[in-house]
Amino acid sequence: MIRVLIVEDDPMVAEINKRYLEEIEHFTLVGIAHSVSEALPYIDREEIDLVLLDVYMPGKNGMELLTYIREHEKQIDVILITAASDAEKIQTALRFGAVDYLIKPFEFERFKTALMAYWEQYNLLAKKNCVNQQELDRLLLGKEQQATDDIVRSLPKGLTKSTLQIIVNAIERMGNNPFSTENISEITDISRVSVGKYLKFLKEINVLEETITYGIGRPVSLYIFKQKNRDILKSFL
């Protein structure tokens, strides 16, 4: 099992990350720290493989904890989960060996992708003394294009080209503005359940980007149309 420490000052976000983690095999939670000072005893005394680390916290920030981990040569990997989206911080985090960087708000699937990619790398390197080029490429090269190329160019069962076209037309009317399932349902007069299936499909083929917004009540998925990937739709319409 991969032993994980969550370092997050917002109790609600820490709880969400904890629940997300519990949904994924191969990982176990060592503890939750709400500041760098709370995290240091875990870092120094516990066996930890991976830290899910926020940047903005009271007192010392997450980048200082990442620096501490590297300066003290701790055998610990770090995934940044933070609202810090400026290029300088991202570049610094990557230079200090962060294995992934999730910008809040994010959806569960992105969280799962990050952890499963880490598990694949951890599992492979733990079991082998030598790794061949094909195995290394699979770990290091981007998988997004490969995932898109591997999709069978036919609609999933229950989806139709005519309805997909209606929904795509509605999405294009949104331009660069984020939208919800309910927004598209209102425009097209198609049920939210049906619209949700089509939006899920469009996300899977990398035409939509999904984010989760946290407010009062249940989280809400918002989507943005990836105009640059519009051509992917030609195979389905």
Average pLDDT over residues 106-131: 83
Whether a cis peptide bond, with omega within 30° of 0, leads into 156 is no
Average pLDDT over residues 107-136: 80
Residue with tokens 């425009």: 187
Q: Residue 176 to residues 89, 160, 189, 209: CA-CA distances in angstroms?
A: 26, 25, 22, 11
What confidence tens digit (pLDDT) does each residue in 201-220 have? 999 888 999 888 776 667 78
* Residue 156 CB-density burial (10 A; 0-12 exposed, 13-18 middle, 19+ buried): exposed
Rounded Cα gap, residues 69 and 66, in angstroms: 5
Sketch the domain layout of the chain as residue ranges.
2-141, 161-235
**Protein fold of 2-141:** Rossmann fold (3.40.50)
Domains 2-141 and 161-235 are alike in CATH topology: no
Asked if residue 205 lies in contact with residue 232, where contact means CB atoms within 8 angstroms, the answer is yes
Question: For the structural domain made of 161-235, what CATH number should be given?
Answer: 1.10.10.10
Does residue 193 have a pLDDT over 90?
yes
pLDDT at 152: 43
How would residue 90 be classed by pLDDT, with cut points 50, 70 and 90?
confident
Mean pLDDT rounded to a whole number for the chain: 86
DSSP conformation class of 179 = B
pLDDT at 12: 92
pLDDT at 170: 95
Does residue 144 have a pLDDT over 50?
no
pLDDT > 90 fraction of the chain, expressed in percent and rounded: 57
Average pLDDT over residues 1-8: 96
∠ CA(70), CA(73), CA(78), 5° rounding?
Answer: 50
